[in-house]
Amino acid sequence: MRYDTEQMMFVGTAVTAEETAALGLHYEIIAAAQTAAAGLLDMARKIKRMRDTGGYKALGFESLEAYTQATMGMRQRQAYNYISIAEKLPAQLIEQNAAAGVTKLALLASLTAGEQKQITAETDLAGTTVTELKRQIRELQEKNTGYAQQLSLLQANAEDDRQTARRDAQETVRLELEAALQRQKEAEAAAEQDRKERDAALAATEKLQAEAEQHEKALEKARAEGAADAEEKARAKVRMEAEAKLAEEKAAREAAEERAAQLAKQLQVSGDESTVKFGLLFQQLQENAYGIDAICKELAENGDSEKAGKFRAALGRALTALAQTLGND
């Protein structure tokens, strides 16, 4: 037979009479401990109820201390230790540690629920003195205070970070709002400028239309008043152009006749037909070149310098090409 510490019970069968007697005594001790634990909890609860209901007054006592001192020899501090145990400790914890005594349980009752769990998990209350328990409680509370201070510091830093982030976010929103307002003002200014430009363009268009209408009316009036004069001028212009064309044809005919006469004369004098033909063709080449130059000058005077330049360039390229061809021969 042996004792299993995990199951907290003896395993096996008693063999001797001595083992049987000892095992029976053990069970009696366990039962007494359970009865003591239950009694401790029951007593603590009932002292608390006597205080809460004020029942001691009905029994002729002015205070709870007077009642406990007279009837049980229990001072006020001890009575309130029982009350603290009943109020602040779980029933299971009281039952499990009843053997530790009221003073140690009262010390546990002064702790938070988390601290109670820490102490009972790390300490054998029944085998620990009150002084040692107080030391352990003090060390635990100092450690927890350090943790609490660190947590408080971390929370304070976190709060500072949150406030800084909140201020940064607010500043960002403010700047974005100002930028949006500025863009809106610029857009409104641009829209106003566009409106003014459209109004100005519309006014200018209306003015041009009015001037065109006035001009058209003036033209109609001029046509109505001077139709006959205009017709006479047109006839005179046609007549002058016809006379000028006849004069040009006459001059050209006379020039041709003169060139023919000169050619005949040259043929008679020189007797060299090729020389005469060369002279005639060379003269025609010069006249054509001068004619092209005259056309270019007329274009330039009329404002079409670009076309005049193209014609001169074409003439230059033709003469250059002709010179190169003659040079190669």
Region class of 2: left (phi > 0), else alpha (psi between -120 and 50), else beta: beta
Cα–Cα distance, 67 to 57 (Å, whole number): 9
> By percentage, how much of the chain surpasses pLDDT 70?
84
pLDDT of residue 84: 92
Mean pLDDT of the chain: 82
pLDDT single digits (tens) 114-164: 898 898 888 888 888 989 989 989 998 898 887 667 767 667 767 877 887
271: pLDDT confidence band, cut at 50, 70 and 90? Answer: low
Question: What residue type is 169 in one-letter code?
Answer: A
Q: Which residues pair with 11 in a beta bridge?
A: 2
Please, what sign has the CA dihedral across residues 6, 8, 11, 17?
Answer: positive
Task: Read off the tokens for 161.
Answer: 């970070």
In this predicted structure, what is the pLDDT of residue 122?
A: 85
DSSP 128: S
Decide: 40 and 98 in contact? Cβ < 8 Å.
Answer: yes
Start-end of H helices in the chain: 17-53, 55-58, 64-72, 76-88, 91-96, 102-109, 113-122, 130-270, 273-301, 305-328
CA distance 174 to 22: 86
Among residues 101, 117, 94, which one has the least CA distance to residue 38?
Answer: 94
Average pLDDT, stretch 57-62? Answer: 92
Enumerate residues 6+ apart whose C-beta is below 8 A from 315.
Answer: 289, 292, 293
∠ CA 134-140-146, nearest 5°, is: 135
Residue boundaries of the structural domains of the chain = 2-128, 280-329
| pLDDT at res. 187 | 84
Q: Which residues touch 131 (CB under 8 Å, ≥6 apart)?
A: none
Share of residues in the chain with pLDDT > 90 (%): 15
Q: What is the mean pLDDT of residues 24-42?
A: 70
CA angle 317, 322, 326 (to 5 degrees): 150
Give the pLDDT confidence of 4-19 residue by residue, as tens digits.
766 656 777 877 888 7
Q: Is residue 65 predicted with pLDDT exceeding 90?
A: yes
Q: What angle do CA 164, 167, 172 make, to 5 degrees?
A: 125
Q: What is the reported pLDDT for 328?
A: 74
55-64, 82-91, 208-217, 307-316: which range is least confident on average? 208-217
Structure tokens at 78: 């001890």
Distance (Å, whole) CA 269 – CA 264: 9
Longest dimension (CA), the chain: 184
Which residue type sits at 28? E
